[in-house]
Structure 1
């Protein structure tokens, strides 16, 4: 897949979250909680990814009584390929730097 620019950090986070269990259907609220995005940011990202063929989407078939069906998402083959590519490019978080002590304790 040819990309003209790197996806936003939020989009990368969503792709990597979906790639943790690529065959599992996930719903938006669950992803919001995992990634730490609000619905106003999450759903436009999911819509763009689906429009680009990177996500499969479907409606929940058997919601509990009294609750409407949820929209579910999972990565397609190209979406999983992109997530793997982005995971390889994303640096590992570094450990917190140690605090330097300029004076001995108690001085």
Structure 2
């Protein structure tokens, strides 16, 4: 069976590029929602798909304040940084290796 490859959606591309701007920094989903003007219902499924494909690392914030629930933090993996670099360099080019749809 052949896996159909396609270019990431504009929203997914914006998430990848936002994370690539500070590739070693852990980022909160809420912060990304504000920066990219995306609703949580759009952003969090993108983050889950990217993590499932090995393009994103996710971890729990261990430094929570009293009264604040733990939050997830996100940053790109090496594969995610490579894809973001390809997308930034050639926004209209075809598929990059390893991307399996949005």
TM-score range, shorter chain: 0.7 to 0.9
Show the counterpart of 2:75.
74
How much does 1:62 deviate? Answer: 1.2
Partner of 1:16, secondary structure, is: helix
Gaps of 5+ in 2: 93-102
Counterparts of 1:47-62 in structure 2 under 5 Å? 47-62=48-63
Q: Deviations along 1:46-77, whole A, 9 cap, x unmatched?
A: 00000000001100001111001110000000
Show the counterpart of 1:17.
18
Q: Greater relative contact order (Cα 8 A, min sep 6): structure 1 or 2?
A: 2
Find out whether 1:8 has 2:9 as its counterpart.
yes
Root-mean-square deviation (Å): 1.5
Gaps of 5+ in 1: 92-107
Aligned-partner Cα distance in 2 for 1:66–1:13? 32
Show the counterpart of 1:38.
39
TM-score (norm 1): 0.80
Aligned-partner Cα distance in 2 for 1:17–1:36? 12
Aligned-partner Cα distance in 2 for 1:11–1:46? 8
Q: How many residues align?
A: 90
